[in-house]
Chains A and B, each alone.
Chain A
Amino acid sequence: MGKKRERWDSRGAFILAAIGSAIGLGNVWRFPYMAYENGGGAFLIPYFVALLTAGIPILILEMALGQRFQGGAPTALRKANKAFEFVGWYAILIASIVTFYYCAIMAWSVNYLVHAFSMKWQGNEEDFFYQEILHLSEGPGQLGGISPALIIGLAVTWFLIYLCVRKGVQSVGKVVLVTVPLPFLLLAILFFRGVTLPGAIDGLSLYLTPDFSKLGDLNVWKAAYGQIFFSLSVGFGIMIAYASFRPKNADVVNNGFITGLANCGTSFFAGFAVFSVLGYMAQQQGVPVTEVVDSGLGLAFVTFPKAIALLPAGAVAIGIIFFLMLLTLGIDSAFSLVEAASTAFSDEIKIKRHTTTVILCVVGFLAGLLFITDGGLYWLDIVDHWVNDYGLILVAFLEVLFLGWFFNLKSLQVQIDEVSEIKAGMWWLIMIKYVATPVLAVILVWGVINDIRNPYGDYDLIWRIIGGWGLIAVLLIASFIISGIQSGKSKEEVSS
């Protein structure tokens, strides 16, 4: 009996979903700071080079793989070569771990959105975040309790994710029509409010003034490539899964360019909203902008609320808009991670898609509880560092290494060139084999050496092993085991 594969309603739905997946919280809280720290406007040069030489080529590779082999990451990689299947499973396991803590951050955002109506953080932003919201303990060893408000926030987040992915790409295709344009609209409101504030120009000047001497620093180039890899949603199997629901004769290359450019354009735009508000905040406090610049969780949950509280008018509205934007930015990325896992499991284990989705949402909620305990922030910090800096980079490295050097990539290039509006040609082959592969290897080795010399954070070795090295090693072993079980099953099916 034939089983029809789900399909996207339209090309637009696919592109929106891919853009929504790529654009996430990191575009707002990571890129602007990276640019500021690595040469200001001059950072755009290595950033754009990294996008064209590694980011977009890997996006195209993942989209081409999914479209050609019509399966999630493990299926597609196995069809390319049986030995590659474990990389697909590793990508899915990494994606699952990221979803667990990503949803915890969204649970905090849900809480902040509720408190934005009363600006409850006003005058006490730091304590509000670390004490009232997180109930932060002394260290990762002290998990303590879980705040009921965060449990509700996490449940709401997972319920929203379930609603988005419950009918696979059919529901995702409809949801992205709202969840992708909405954060852009909210970001645009923040941008216009930001640039019309006094002092905004000082912030923007800090963001854009180029320091070309930084271009000679290898760390700046590493930061640019790292930022590109982290922000494009490559290495999670998302683009492979999404593209597997496209027909084989659909465009690949132009879709990769549109997704990559839209993602980086959003990061660049977000920098204006962030730095204009920081410029205003610095002026109000009578300090240089450099003293208020922040990134990551600190920017989103401490610095920005502080800046919002200082606004001359419309602070409540801007607070609501900001946290609603964080939620809508995060939801596409979160459900794309679930969708990647759901596609992989339903393709391979032949469980109904809806059942797989429900199981993943329940497991995700339960696993996410760790990250909303009193010690959850420490665990989030440890797991995020190792999973992103090593797990994700390792997946991307193995992908380009195996497919670039141990697979007939030329045949894939010929195939995508036949169906694409822009031809990938030799550029793509060269970038995958001779740029992306060595760059990822360097980033990986560089990171390991750096971590050995200067251990990450102030954490005891035991926590760095459990939540860091141990976790990524266990996930790698698990991916070999799952892949072995699956190939065993395939042999049994063939022999029977």
Chain B
Amino acid sequence: MSVGAWIMLAFGCLLLYGGLIICLFIASGARKYTDEDFEIEDENNAVE
């Protein structure tokens, strides 16, 4: 494979998988939702 092909391989991996890993890392540290969140929502969205 040409050098250009290897560079594009690294470029694609870095952007797509690197970006995904960062997003998953951010999500892993996120607040966990409790049942209370859902209950409040359900009350707000209850159809009369």
B-contacting residues of A (Cβ < 8 Å)? 1-5, 7, 11, 15, 40-42, 44, 48, 70, 201, 204-205, 208-210, 247-251, 254-255, 257-258, 261-262, 264-265, 268, 421-422
Contacts and interface: CB of A to CB of B under 8 A. Distances in A.
Contacts of B1: 201, 204-205, 208-209
Contacts of B13: 268
B23 to A, nearest CB: 5
B5 A204 contact: yes
Nearest to B46: A2
Interface of B is mostly: helix
Contacts of A204: 1, 5
B12 A41 contact: yes
B7 to A, nearest CB: 8
Interface of A is mostly: helix
A201 B5 CA distance: 11
Contacts of B17: 265
Given A247-B38, A264-B16, A422-B26, A3 B47 contact: yes
Interface in B1-48: 1-2, 4-9, 11-13, 15-17, 19-20, 23-24, 26-27, 30, 33, 37-38, 40-48
A1 B38 CA distance: 18
Given A2-B47, A5-B42, A70-B45, A247 B12 contact: no
A11 B33 CA distance: 9
A2 B48 contact: yes
B45 A5 contact: yes
B31 to A, nearest CB: 9
A249 B41 CA distance: 8
Which 8 residue pairs of A and B lie closest in terms of their CB atoms, listed nearest first? A41-B8, A2-B46, A208-B5, A247-B41, A265-B16, A261-B20, A209-B5, A205-B1
Nearest to A262: B20
B4 A209 contact: yes
Contacts of A261: 16, 19-20, 23
B27 A254 contact: yes
B42 A4 contact: yes
B37 A247 contact: yes
A255 B43 CA distance: 25
A254 B17 CA distance: 15
20 contacts: A1-B48, A2-B42, A2-B46, A4-B42, A5-B41, A7-B38, A7-B42, A11-B27, A40-B5, A41-B4, A41-B8, A44-B8, A201-B1, A208-B9, A209-B2, A250-B33, A251-B27, A254-B30, A264-B16, A268-B13
